[in-house]
Amino acid sequence: MRSTATQRTLAALSQVALWTWVLLAMVPLVWMVTTSIKPEGYAQTIPPTWQFQPTLQHYVDVLQGAAVTPFGPLLLHSVIVAVGSTALALVLGLFAAYALARLRFRGKRFLALWILSTIMFPPVVAVIPVFILAGRLQLIDRYLTLIVPYAAFNLPLVIWVLRSSIRQIPEEIEDAALVDGASRMEIISRIVLPLAAPGIATAGILSMLLAWNEFLFALTLTRSQVKTAPVGISEFTGMFGTQWGSLSAAATIIVAPVVIMALLLRRHLIEGLTLGAVK
């Protein structure tokens, strides 16, 4: 048996190691935020500048559009697309997850596997035909053209999380309702929905995260009406020198909402990541 002294030292060392990693991992975020409040020209100095007069000018520039395009509308587009695709994925996913969790039907096993396997489809490959089709049908730069693909990207994970979540609900409750003559739809909406709420929250967060940060499809399928924030941020880089102040301010603006959301709902995130593994 290891002595308690050794155990305590080990525990202490592991705490040190852990926090070293955590603090180092925060460095890039620190860089981002400090650069966003440094006056113009101080982003790239040797040695790095730590004494400076903080300014919020970059944030003003970004939101008002003095930089390139006004960022405010882009954030709104991102919100619409994220919420829309999440809602779609959750609705479609809930029905599918319920069927996979509770019902028996032919081909179910294969279907479940196939749904999971669609995660592997590289967006770079999928974007080409989607773009061509959307172009021909004049569907470029519409919300739906992003909402549907994003929902598709999220469905496998959503279905998986929701299925596990539904399985955690004791079947007796539903059986009792069935005996009482409730239809499946009523069961789903009255019983399953409230009880699976934590799982739905988790699936929702993961879905929002992906939709909020997606770049390739947004770049290819939008012009200006629906352009999302990640596309907007790429406009700060260019031939004649990257505007680091504006770029890091925009980056902070993009990252802040999801960070806050992730922090507030961290328990759900963590639960959701593991629900699939536990019986």
Partner 1 sequence: MKPTREQSNGLGWALVTPAVGVLLLMTIFPALYLLWASFRRFNLMTPDNAPFIGLENYRNIATNGDIRYSMLVTILFVVAAVGIELALGLLLALMLAPKSRSNAAAATLLILPMAVTPVVSALVWRELFNPNYGWVNYYLRQIGIMHEPIAWLSNPQTSWFTVISLDVWQWTPFVALILMAGLQGIPPEPREAAAVDGAEGWRLFWDVTFPLLRPFVAIAVLLRTLEAFKTFGTIRVLTGGGPGISTEIINLTIYRTALQDFSVGAAASLGIAFLVFLSILVPQMLRILARNSDLVEA
Partner 2 sequence: MKNTQIGDVTQTESKGVTRRHLMMSAVAMGLSLPVLSKSSVSAAPRTALLRQDAEKPASLNMLYATVEADVEAIKLAIPDFKAETGIDIVLDSQPYDALQQKVFAELAVDSPYYDVIIVDTPWTPALTGKLEPLSGYVTNEALNDVSDPALDDFIEKVFFDTAVYNPTASHLQFPDPTGIDVEAITGEGFEIYGLPLQANALVAMYRTDLFENADDMAAFESEHGRALAFPETWDEFTDVAKFFTRPDQNLYGTTLMPGNGDWATDDFKTLLAAWGGNGYMVSDDFTLAFNSPEGVDALTYYASLINEHKVTPPGVTSFSWDDASAAFTSGLTAIGMNYHTEVLAPDVQGNITYALVPEKETRGPHFGTWMLSVNKASQNKEWAYRAANWFTSGPTQTKMLAAQLHPSRKSVYEAAKTDENATKFGNFYDILGQSLALGVGRPRLTNYGAVDKEIWVAVNSAATGSMTPEEALQSAADKVKGLLQEAGYPVS
Give the shortest CB-278-to-partner 2 separation in angstroms: 15
Give the shortest CB-41-to-partner 2 separation in angstroms: 5
**CA atoms of 142 and 218, how far apart (whole Å):** 11
Residues in 80-139 that interact with partner 2 by CB under 8 A? 106-107, 109-111, 113-114, 129, 131-133, 135-136, 138
The tokens 């730069």 sit on which residue? 141
Residue 50 lies near partner 2 (rule: CB under 8 A): no
Among 44, 118, 189, 274, binds partner 2 (CB under 8 A): 44
Using CA atoms, how far residue 258 sits from 7, 55, 61, 208, in Å, is: 38, 24, 22, 8
Give the shortest CB-42-to-partner 1 separation in angstroms: 10
**Residue 64, binding choice from partner 2, partner 1, none, Cβ under 5 to 8 Å by partner class:** none
Residues in 182-221 that interact with partner 2 by CB under 8 A? 219-220
Give the shortest CB-171-to-partner 2 separation in angstroms: 16
Contacts with partner 2 by CB under 8 A: the residue count is: 37
Residues in 60-79 that interact with partner 2 by CB under 8 A? 68-69
Give the shortest CB-138-to-partner 1 separation in angstroms: 16
**CA atoms of 221 and 123, how far apart (whole Å):** 13
CA nearest to 255, candidates 213, 226, 217, 202 = 213
Nearer to partner 2, 4 or 138 (CB): 138
**Residue 138, binding choice from partner 2, partner 1, none, Cβ under 5 to 8 Å by partner class:** partner 2
The tokens 């991992």 sit on which residue? 25
**Residue 68, binding choice from partner 2, partner 1, none, Cβ under 5 to 8 Å by partner class:** partner 2
Among 22, 25, 46, 125, binds partner 2 (CB under 8 A): 46
Q: Supply 130's token pair.
A: 């989607």
Burial of 269 by CB count in 10 Å (0-12 exposed, 13-18 middle, 19+ buried)? Answer: middle
- DSSP per-residue codes, 189-228: IIIIHHHTHHHHHHHHHHHHHHHHH--HHHHHH-SSSS--
Give the shortest CB-221-to-partner 1 separation in angstroms: 12
56: CB partners within 8 A, 6+ apart: 37
**CA atoms of 97 and 158, how far apart (whole Å):** 8
Nearer to partner 2, 21 or 52 (CB): 52
Give the shortest CB-75-to-partner 1 separation in angstroms: 12
CA nearest to 161, candidates 277, 279, 276, 271 = 276
Nearer to partner 2, 112 or 157 (CB): 112
Burial of 27 by CB count in 10 Å (0-12 exposed, 13-18 middle, 19+ buried)? Answer: exposed
- Burial readout 245-262 (b: 16 or more C-beta within 10 A, e: otherwise): bbbbbbbbbbbebeeebe
Q: Which residues in this chain contact partner 2 in the complex, by CB under 8 A?
A: 40-42, 44-46, 68-69, 106-107, 109-111, 113-114, 129, 131-133, 135-136, 138, 140-141, 219-220, 223-224, 231, 234-235, 237-242
